[in-house]
Every structure is written in structure tokens, then in C-alpha cells.
Amino acid sequence: MGVPRIITIDGPAASGKSTLGARLAQALGYLYFDTGVMYRAVTWVALQRQLEIADEAAITRLAEQLAIDVQPPSHADGRAYDVLADGQDVTWEIRRPEVDANVSPVSVYAGVRAALSAQQRRIGLRGNVVMVGRDIGTVVLPEADLKIYLEASAEERARRRYLELIGRGEAADYDHILTGIHRRDQIDSTRAVAPLRAASDAILLDSDKLDADQVLQYVQALVNTVQEPGE
């Protein structure tokens, strides 16, 4: 019996997808790919260039032209990887509050999604990958061997994001974060193209009552029971 070659993790903001994805990929020796960084990179560059976020044509053109790359970490400053946008290191910039506030509207645009998900699919189909996002099990890699949908209450997710920001020495306001999470969930799950939802064959996990170690153990147990297609 072989381990699944393509694993997807979807779920709402701050549900623990990145933590699980990174640790699972490391345990399996797989590539970890967080698709959120691509939407964030487009959003950051759009803000830098002072494009109107409401200008769908301009934002779509940017997504089609911007070269986004994820590379092994060049600095030991807590980053898991480098994110490059046209060669520029934007690893920390894409985590800024103004990106949080604008990334969901950018992610609504069909042309943006088409440009980014084509790149994600190409990377995913090479296999030995844990790919994380909102629409990976439903749209980007529907043929994945194992699909996880990770949930947690908005309050718990806001608490985690708050602690993450404080841990990085940044200013954080719990109520503001909670409002932002509700807003992003609302936009992400009601958009016409590739809305946030669990694939019908995804395994649902509620991380409210499970810590990061327990979630990882649970998914590792699943990995060992899934058979690769054709075996």
C-alpha cells in the first residue's frame, strides 16, 4: 500500500492549515505549497503600485504577468520559505494587515483565479505535495488522493491569529481580527468562482478541540490508511 501522492488541505482563515500542511509535508518529505501566498503576493504588489482593488481588469492583468516564486528560506527570521514577486522578497509584506483587508476581494476575480490556479495545478500534478488553500480539493486538484477540510470557530481562529501577531512583536486587536475573519469568510465562501467549501470526498476536521500535534497525528493516521489509486 502506498501513501497518497497528492494531499490537499482547505479551510477558512487561520484554521491551522499552514501549520498542519508544513508539518505533514516535512514528515512525508513532500513539497509544502501554500496557495494563499500567491493571492497575497498579487494583493501586495497591487497596493504597492497603487492599483484600484476594484479595477478587475488591472488586477487580472497583474495576476497574469506577475512572476511569483516560493523558495527555501534565505533568512533565519522565523520564515518557513521566501516568497518572491518579480524577484523581490515579499515574504513578510504579504502578511501585513492591508493585505489581509484586501486579499479576499482580489481573490474573487475569475481571471486572477484562472491565472493562479493554473500554476498551482501544474505544481500539484507533479505529486509528492501537500497543497493548502480554499479550493484545492474542489477545483485545483480534484483528483487528490487525500483531502482534508480543516475548520474551527471564528473566535478560536481569531485568538490564534492574535497570538501569532503578538508572537511576531506586532500590534494586534482581537475584536478587529475577529471582524476581519468574519468578513473574509463571508467573501471567500459566497464568491461565484471556486468558493470556499469542503469537497464531497474531503475529511472534515474541527480543530477547536484539537491542538496542532493532535491534528497532525490524526492526519498521519489517515495518510497510512489511504491507498494510492491503481494499487
Residue 91 CA, chain-centre distance (Å), reads 14
Does residue 39 belong to the site contacting ligand CDP (CB under 6 A)? Answer: yes
Compare residues 14 and 45 and give the one whose CB is closer to ligand CDP.
Answer: 14
Cell numbers 492599483: residue: 51
In angstroms, give the least distance from the CB of 231 to ligand CDP.
29
CA dihedral 223, 32, 5, 214 (to 10 degrees): 0
Q: Pairing state of beta strands 146-151 and 6-10?
A: parallel
Does residue 135 belong to the site contacting ligand CDP (CB under 6 A)? Answer: yes
| Candidate residues 134, 145, 160, 223; the one interacting with ligand CDP per rule CB under 6 A | 134
C-alpha cell read off for 209: 478541540
Segment interacting with ligand CDP, rule: CB under 6 A, options 76-84, 102-110, 164-172, 206-214? 102-110
Does residue 184 belong to the site contacting ligand CDP (CB under 6 A)? Answer: yes
In angstroms, give the least distance from the CB of 118 to ligand CDP.
13
Does residue 91 belong to the site contacting ligand CDP (CB under 6 A)? Answer: no
Cell numbers 497525528: residue: 217
Compare residues 15 and 146 and give the one whose CB is closer to ligand CDP.
Answer: 15
C-alpha cell read off for 163: 497570538
Compare residues 5 and 17 and give the one whose CB is closer to ligand CDP.
Answer: 17
**Residue count (the chain):** 231
- Nearest of 11, 19, 40 to residue 153 by alpha carbon: 11
Does residue 130 belong to the site contacting ligand CDP (CB under 6 A)? Answer: no
Segment interacting with ligand CDP, rule: CB under 6 A, options 54-62, 64-72, 76-84, 131-139? 131-139
C-alpha cell read off for 31: 513539497
